[in-house]
Amino acid sequence: MSTREEVLRHLESVGYVQPALHKQTQAPYPDAIDHTLWRTYTRSVHDVGGEADVPIQYEEKQEEQWELNTFATCECLAWRGVWNAEERRRRQNVDIGQTAYLGLPYYGRWLMTAARILVDKQYATLTELVNKIDEVKKRHEHKKSSR
């Protein structure tokens, strides 16, 4: 059970990453939505080409082991027919929303999508998934403490 402080800290964190809605609308009639507003509503979160952004220095990096494992796991899911590449891309780039898209690392979105699809398509229950995550966390903590 979460304490009041944990809940408040969580809400503050969510508020920090949540995109701001600067113009309140109450389900406007179609004639109140001009072309610019329509394009804004229908833009998918991964469609960032041509948008203004701050300069960023791109650097090549060596993939970490968890990233390689994630890629292999997701490829195995595809080989076994759990999903195809288009479904994976849609779920990890479009369906997750702007906050998660911009806030998670690239392979973090792959992992979250894999977990969601396994539950959505009933290959595993949410309880089984949570229990497995707890088991792996405990195993990892035990390895760290025994060093």
Region for residue 30 given its phi and psi (left: phi exceeds 0; alpha: psi -120 to 50; beta: otherwise)? alpha
**For this structure, is 41 an active site residue?**
no
Helix, strand, coil percentages (3-state) for the chain, rounded to 5, are 60, 0, 40
Two tokens, residue 20: 């701001």
The answer to whether the beta carbons of residues 114 and 77 sit under 8 Å apart is yes
Two tokens, residue 106: 């690239």
33 contact partners, CB below 8 Å, separation of at least 6: 41
In the chain, the amino acid numbered 36 is T
**Phi and psi (nearest 5°) for 117?**
-70, -35
Catalytic residue among 29, 101, 106, 123: 106
Catalytic residues: 106
